[in-house]
Amino acid sequence: MKISELKKAFQDDLETLSAEDLVRKWLGSDGYLKKGFLELKRLEGSSKKEVGEILNSIKEKLESIKQELDNQKILSKLRLPFIDCSFKFGYPALGELHPVTQLEWELADFFSRLGFEVIDGPELESSYNNFDALNIPAHHPARDMQDTFYIANAGQADLLRTHTSSIQARILSSGKVPIKAICFGKVYRNETEDASHQAMFHQFELLWVDTKLGLGHLLTLIEETVKFLFGDGAQLRFVPKYYPYTEPSLGVQVRCFECRGSDCSFCGGSSFLTIAGAGVVHRNVLLQFSYDINSVVGLAFGFGTSRLAANKVGIKKLRSLYEGDVFDFIS
């Protein structure tokens, strides 16, 4: 390529090619510049000097372009995305759902698919709904001041409910059939707190009122609930119990999830934990709300969601559910 042609070719490429293509075409191992310097060796005299100056000028221009490309590559790696620090971001999500809340949501989803409706009720309750309507007479130990937090000068709502069974009275007052209801909430008892007992905890309650129901329906429902919560491997047993608002009454026990049958403070060395009370709704309770006990049957069971939630996530101390000490929670 003649010197005039070389200059024109470079000028044309400088105007039409991208910087990357220009450097590749002229500075590559087989580029035009290398070929030009090879041709320079064959020249002599003044023409060699003139061509050498032109080639060096082109080389300096190309190296300048190549250096700029290299700088841009380095800057692109170092460049951080723009952040507008004046922008008001929303509050980030903190933590996860509380184990009790998670369990309640799971139960609500499970029973809603079985046709049960979630019903709510007040924590400040009347003695009638909490005791009298549930066949718990005035002389019953559950009404002793040692077990119940009474509210002075509170009118009809004179205590903090001791169980979510108080919502049963509110549901039964409708007099309708069928009833398929579940409820959740805090309950309060004047108890000495230890590894497995709290003065405030959460409970779950189920009430099913209909015709042609029997104890077998209740046992099957409880078994399916335990399997849903803890899997098919959970060891379950029923034991006789006394509850004034059910007859017959059952205690629902599962093998301790903490010690698996050996001694521990959570199960008191018994190897089994009582997780629920259950039974057929007492005839006196149904009569209290004018149900025909010859055609209508009620089934009920309830358990402490606090204790179940602790078992489910492996919390050894029940109080850890309600305290803010993270180290106590994980110990």
For the chain, report the end-to-end CA distance as a whole number of angstroms: 84
Question: Measured between alpha carbons, how far is 24 from 121 in angstroms, rounded to an integer?
Answer: 79
Whether the predicted pLDDT of 261 surpasses 80? no
Query: Which domains does the chain possess?
Result: 3-78 (no CATH), 99-330 (3.30.930.10)
Q: What is the pLDDT of residue 16?
A: 82
Whether the predicted pLDDT of 303 surpasses 80? yes
Name the more confident of 160 and 327. 160
Span 296-308, average pLDDT: 91
Q: Calculate the alpha carbon distances from 36 to 26, 74, 304 in Å.
A: 10, 31, 91
Name the more confident of 269 and 60. 60
Q: By mean pLDDT, which of 6-20, 71-85, 96-110 is the weakest?
A: 71-85
The mean predicted confidence, pLDDT, of the chain is 83
Q: What is the pLDDT of residue 259?
A: 67
Span 6-12, average pLDDT: 76
Q: What is the pLDDT of residue 125?
A: 93
Query: Residue 329 — very low, low, confident or very high, per pLDDT cuts 50/70/90?
Result: very low
Question: Measured between alpha carbons, how far is 254 from 268 in angstroms, rounded to an integer?
Answer: 13
Could you say which DSSP state residue 224 is in? H
Question: Measured between alpha carbons, how far is 62 from 10 in angstroms, rounded to an integer?
Answer: 10
Q: What is the pLDDT of residue 89?
A: 62
Per the CB < 8 A criterion, the answer to whether 321 and 100 are in contact is yes
Q: Facing residues of 38 across strands? A: none
Please report the DSSP string for 78-144 in residue order: HPPPP--TTS-PPPPP-S---HHHHHHHHHHHHHHTTT-EE----SEE-HHHHTGGGT--TTSGGGS
Cα atoms in the Cβ-side hemisphere of radius 13 Å centred on 132: 9
Name the more confident of 160 and 311. 160
Residue pointed to by tokens 């559910």: 321
Give the CA radius of gyration of the chain: 41
Query: Residue 82 — very low, low, confident or very high, per pLDDT cuts 50/70/90?
Result: low
Query: Residue 88 — very low, low, confident or very high, per pLDDT cuts 50/70/90?
Result: low
Query: Residue 296 — very low, low, confident or very high, per pLDDT cuts 50/70/90?
Result: very high
Pairing relationship of beta strands 179-188 and 117-118 according to DSSP bridges: parallel
Task: Report percent pLDDT > 90 for the chain.
Answer: 38
Buried/exposed 244-273: b ≥16 CB within 10 Å, e otherwise: bbbeebbbbbbbbbbeeeeebebbeeebbb
| Token output for 328 | 């106590």
- Chain-centroid distance, C-alpha 272: 28
Does an H or E element contain 63, and which?
A: helix 45-78
CB atoms within 10 A of CB 57: 12
Query: Residue 260 — very low, low, confident or very high, per pLDDT cuts 50/70/90?
Result: low
Whether the predicted pLDDT of 1 surpasses 60? no
Summarize pLDDT for 191-225 with one digit per residue, the tens: 877 766 788 899 999 999 999 999 999 999 999 99
CB atoms within 10 A of CB 86: 5
CA angle 105, 111, 114 (to 5 degrees): 150
Q: By mean pLDDT, which of 89-93, 251-255, 320-324 is the weakest?
A: 89-93
Q: What is the pLDDT of residue 331?
A: 47
Question: Measured between alpha carbons, how far is 252 from 303 in angstroms, rounded to an integer?
Answer: 9
Name the more confident of 134 and 93. 134
